A and B are shown apart, each in its own frame.
Chain A
Amino acid sequence: MHLKFKNKKITGILSVLPNNEINYLDEIGNYNFSEKQSIKLGKIMGYGTRRIVNDNTTVSDLCAFGLNYLFENKLLDKESIGALILCTQTPDYFLPATSNVISGRINLGEDVICMDINQGCAGYEVGLMQSFMLLDTGSINKVVLLNSDVLSKKVSIKDRNSRPLVGDGASITIIENCKNEENIDIFLKMDGSGALSLQIPAGGFKMPSNIETSELKEDASGNFRALDHLVMKGDEVFNFVQTKVPELLHEMFDKLKIDKTFFDYYFFHQPNKFMLEKLAEKLEIPYEKMPNNICEKYGNGSNNTVPLTICENLGEKAISNSYKVCLGGFGVGLTWSLIKWKIDKLDFCKIINY
């Protein structure tokens, strides 16, 4: 699906990371593999440090903390917010929506529309699409998009397949109407036949959590996880990404009559360092144009990786400069997406700690 929008601008991005840092090397004793094997894996996959929330910290905590920071520092006027969109797969509750919870915590008015979106790795692009649609109504001039997950709570500490990847965090992106006739192009694809390639089997209504779903069981490769934990068919996801993302990028280039030199940056989701490196090689895009430094430092924060990558790699530079960017996400759903847009002189672009 190719969607076109106009007259929208990001005016600021703030990322919130938990203070608590974990080093991959400190955890290899938890895994059912030799130290040598795990060290080799870490080198190839690019595992370093990750930021993980404490047991009692939730998505609404990270988001409310970031929003209060923006209010206190006069970077966001509470009265100007028309909608609060939260993209998360680790909500505080099944119901109510966590965006409603956040709205209550920061005392937003009754005219602010709250909405949760259940998307992961492509959640930034899907969240932006929803934000654009609300802005197009003409009744809303500013949308606050929240991208946050605390998936570390849902990976087994004895699962070397998923545990070393996952980091927690939140990002807040402000999107506003502006005068700019240049097209913003969204390319979005979904393949529900692969919906269970990446999943948490138990805990929903299909398989409610009970004592049995919390039992750790060994898989064929020697990882221990329960049905309550996140499980990923890494090889299938790898093949999906290497096939579908290049296809979609070429579709974008053909339809928009541009080539890969058009963009200053490709801010893509970062599943792990290895996978994005392989993708950059396949797309023949230079590494310096596709930043790949989030996983080794903060971990893969699911739908939070793209805005965090922008904050980490542009930071202050985004305040005075303008960049042509291709935003990209791919993973759980299966969902994959690209957006052609501009990052143009933001009011703020930074990372704070929780």
Chain B
Amino acid sequence: MKDELLEKLAEILEVDQVSINDKLESYEEWDSLTALTIIALADSDYNKKLTNDMLKEFKTIDDIVNFIIN
């Protein structure tokens, strides 16, 4: 489940792969549209309600993964 989520995040961020310690702000594609796409992914595929405020607090890929999977 975690690998699948990492693959989906890589696709959204337009990179070949992501690793859990990557800083979110280091991605070129890290913007409000990416945030919305991740919010939609969390809802449709994992039934989790993610918000912009939460994403602003998140520092790394790991923070997103922990929220969505746990």
Contacts and interface: CB of A to CB of B under 8 A. Distances in A.
Do A and B interact? yes
Interface of A: 33, 37, 40-41, 44, 161, 220-222, 233-236, 238-239, 242-243, 274, 278, 281-282
Given A37-B33, A40-B33, A239 B51 contact: yes
A282 B42 CA distance: 12
A235 B51 contact: yes
Given A235-B51, A239-B51, A243-B49, A221 B32 contact: yes
Given A278-B40, A278-B44, A282-B44, A235 B52 contact: yes
A142 B42 CA distance: 47
The DSSP consensus for interface residues of chain A is helix
B2 interface: no
Interface string B37-70: 1011001100001111000100000000000000
A164 to B, nearest CB: 12
B22 interface: no
B44 A281 contact: yes
Nearest to B55: A235
B33 A220 contact: no
Given A161-B32, A278-B44, 8 more contacts: A37-B31, A37-B33, A44-B37, A221-B32, A222-B32, A234-B36, A235-B50, A242-B43
A106 B35 CA distance: 49
A239 B37 contact: no
Contacts of A233: 52
A115 B56 CA distance: 44
A200 to B, nearest CB: 20
Given A37-B31, A282-B44, A238 B36 contact: yes
Scoring A33, A239, A282 by chain B CB atoms within 10 A of each residue's CB, the highest score goes to: A239
Nearest to B35: A235
A232 to B, nearest CB: 12
A235 B43 contact: no
Nearest to B37: A44
Contacts of A222: 32
Contact of B36 (A220, A235, A281, A282): A235
Contacts of B37: 44
Contact of B39 (A33, A40, A221, A238): A238
Contacts of A221: 31-32
A230 B56 CA distance: 23
Contacts of A243: 49
B33 A41 contact: yes
Interface centre among A233, A242, A281 (most CB of B within 10 A): A242
B33 A238 contact: no
A243 B51 CA distance: 14
Contacts of B33: 37, 40-41, 44
B32 A278 contact: no
Contacts of B49: 239, 243
A281 B45 CA distance: 11
B56 A220 contact: yes
Contacts of A40: 33
Nearest to B32: A221
A286 to B, nearest CB: 16
